[in-house]
Structure 1
Amino acid sequence: MESFTYLLVEHQLIKTERLILRPITLADAKDMFEYASDDDNTRFVFDTHPTIEITRQKIAEFFVATPTGKYGIEIATTGKFIGTIDIRIDPMNRSGCLGYALNKDYWGHGYMTEAGFAILDLAFQTLQLERVFAMHDVRNPASGKVMQRLGMTYEGTIRKSRYVKEEFVDDAYYSILKEEYKAK
């Protein structure tokens, strides 16, 4: 089997019915800053960006420096960059961790679920992973609903799992196995 890195690079552009998942560049800074500077959007996931220059730095350091498995979410008909989705691979355990962020102006339209299914297809069909998991701050149940719509099963809550924005947070964990995904 080919390496996970090679397969992710080979599949760095994914098209769905309404979306294009693609590499993130500095050209996305304006659209990313639109949501990364909004406390409602960043409350549970990362520090709010005070300036567009910080957004540009974060793009360079996180998305451009190590782009493999990280995708910008673009609406196909308009070209609007509305969020990110990524899968981090644990090769030894043939598993992946799914993460995402979406501009609140696009919540409730099924975009994240659509992007999530595209990444699960990649994970189970192309990468042949055995398990994909995700977690969310328990104070953000909407993120858990996305995981449920993706067919993930709640596994439990890890108390004080992460230190975010100067406080410890509890994370709810969900996962889906290859055989469960293929059965759907």
Structure 2
Amino acid sequence: MEIVMNRNLIFAENQYLETNRLTLRPITLKDANDMYEYGSDEETVTYVFPIHQSIKDTKESIANYFIAAPLGKYGIELKATGKLIGTIDLRVENQHNIAEIGYALNKDFWGVGYVPEAATELLRLGFEELQLMRIFAMHDIDNPQSGRVMEKIGMKIEGKVPNARMWKGKVVTDIMRGITLEEWQQLHN
């Protein structure tokens, strides 16, 4: 008999996660100013989401994406200041026992390891608590910095998808990276 796991309950019990420097927590409308700061910056959002033209765009994004279905979606908050500097999410495909990880980070905080730190905690949640067998991510071939984050957390290149999608009027080639439960266990034992 197969054991059915309630992953929504596990996410609900793990809405707040901590790392050395970060708190991963639910996004609220109180985060609108911090999110607008980077959501309105073209360099920050080039590969992630359409630029926010106004604070109203940011509030709508928060309401429609983060509040409407909050489980598995986290704000990345600096413990030292309480500032929201980005978001990270783990989108589980229950039927296949896998998940996709995605993230966005204010460019003012690039290059100091915040996303790998947050992503490592989500991998731990995914493999230890949610008992997933594989976690993957994709990045635009023109965004190697995102690929570097994936590499730092142990993800290997699994494939290249030419003409994967249209994004902001451009044909995109995606690089898919992933890590299996066994690979993660080898890195953390």
Residue by residue over 1:156-177, the C-alpha shift from the partner in whole angstroms, topping out at 9 and shown as x without a partner, is: 1111212211222111000000
What amino acid does structure 1 have at the position aligned with 2:151? Q
Q: Report whether the alignment pairs 1:170 with 2:173.
A: yes
Residue of structure 1 in register with 2:19 after alignment: 16
Q: Report whether the alignment pairs 1:69 with 2:72.
A: yes
Deviates more, 1:163-172 or 1:104-113: 163-172
Unaligned runs of 5+ in 1: none
| 1:59 match: secondary structure | helix
| 2:66 match: secondary structure | helix
Residue of structure 2 in register with 1:109 after alignment: 112
Asked if structure 2 preserves the Cα contact closer than 8 Å seen for 1:95 and 1:131, the reply is yes
| 2:127 match: secondary structure | helix
Unaligned runs of 5+ in 2: none
What amino acid does structure 2 have at the position aligned with 1:174? R
Alignment partners' CA distance in 1, 2:131 and 2:68? 26
Corresponding residue to 2:30 among 22, 27, 30? 27
Alignment partners' CA distance in 2, 1:163 and 1:55? 23
Q: Report whether the alignment pairs 1:6 with 2:13.
A: no
Residue by residue over 1:33-67, the C-alpha shift from the partner in whole angstroms, topping out at 9 and shown as x without a partner, is: 00010010111111111101100001100000010
1:27-106 equivalence runs, <5 A: 27-106=30-109
Alignment partners' CA distance in 1, 2:47 and 2:104? 10
Kindly report the root-mean-square deviation, in angstroms, between the aligned alpha carbons of the 2 structures.
0.8
| 2:53 match: secondary structure | coil
What amino acid does structure 2 have at the position aligned with 1:146? V
Residue of structure 2 in register with 1:159 after alignment: 162
| 1:173 match: secondary structure | strand
What amino acid does structure 1 have at the position aligned with 2:103? Y
Q: How many corresponding residue pairs?
A: 184
Residue by residue over 1:60-103, the C-alpha shift from the partner in whole angstroms, topping out at 9 and shown as x without a partner, is: 00000010100000001110100000000011111000000000
| 1:24 match: secondary structure | coil
Asked if structure 2 preserves the Cα contact closer than 8 Å seen for 1:46 and 1:164, the reply is no
What amino acid does structure 2 have at the position aligned with 1:167? K
| 1:89 match: secondary structure | strand
Cα deviation, residue 153, structure 1: 0.5
Residue by residue over 1:117-161, the C-alpha shift from the partner in whole angstroms, topping out at 9 and shown as x without a partner, is: 000000000001000000001100000000000000101111121
Residue by residue over 1:1-59, the C-alpha shift from the partner in whole angstroms, topping out at 9 and shown as x without a partner, is: 53111111110100111000000001000000000100101111111111011000011
| Identity fraction in percent | 47
Corresponding residue to 1:135 among 134, 138, 149? 138
When the two structures are superposed, what TM-score results if normalisation uses the length of structure 2? 0.95
